[in-house]
Amino acid sequence: MKILRLPTSLPMSSLAVFFFLSFSMTGQSQSSPLLEEKEGLLVVEAEHFVGQTINSIRKWYILDGQEKELPQPDADPSHASTASGGSYLEILPDTRKNHDEKLIHSENFSNTAGEMALLHYLVYFNTPGKYYVWVRAFSTGTEDNGIHVGLDGEWPASGQRMQWCEGKNEWSWASKQRTKEVHCGVPELIYLEIPSAGWHEISFSMREDGFEFDKWIMSQTYEMPKGAGPAESPAKF
């Protein structure tokens, strides 16, 4: 599914961009700063999405330590106190945390990128080219550690099946693709090709429910971020 996107040539100061980023496609106001790639690096807090779609079965929720009621089941406590910026996203409900729990295709698992629980981000790129995608995630089980990433409404093979195996029970960066031969993921296979300077939509979709998502980075160099990673990349008008 594609969302409405602005022409890549639209000036960064356009009020149209402001209104687009200020209104969630779910019909709710979403506070999201304008974001811009600089010198081959883009850093985004996961909760700064502009909207989410295909979320009737599973949905992304913001956890910031102030939430009162969330869909159940959700087997693990909030990790907001250690998240970058004090908040993060989680796909709920979480009915398959470990391998011995029932896998239900198109409900608690989707190996098809773009099928379920889509997050949408609108960002400005100054530099076209190949960007590796890094995500900071918190995994507590064996089946809450996968996600897909897409570009401009498309889901290229190089953005499918991001996978985490290491760094359990803590926030952990990864940029690896699960393959038939290597289930824990192969480095340098997760990337997007930005075709032109200007505005582009970056999207993430569910692979496994219960996925906890703190921050993401696109970089033209393949180097794992440290700690909470660099500061977010706000646009400077």
- Residue 125 within any structural domain of the chain: yes
Q: Reply yes or no on whether the pLDDT at 169 is more than 70.
A: yes
Give me the pLDDT at residue 35, please: 96
Range of the domain at 135: 35-219
Within a domain: residue 41? yes
Q: Is 191 a domain residue?
A: yes
**Structural domain contains residue 104:** yes
pLDDT at 210 over 50: yes
Rounded Cα–Cα distance for residues 124 and 107 (Å):
33
Residue 16 has pLDDT above 50, yes or no: no
Identify the pLDDT of residue 19.
41
Query: Does residue 17 carry a pLDDT above 70?
Result: no
Whether residue 80 contacts residue 87, with contact meaning beta carbons closer than 8 Å, is answered with yes
* Other Cβ atoms within 10 Å of 216 Cβ, number: 25
> Which pLDDT band holds residue 75 (cuts at 50, 70, 90)?
confident
What CATH number is given to the structural domain containing 197?
A: 2.60.120.260
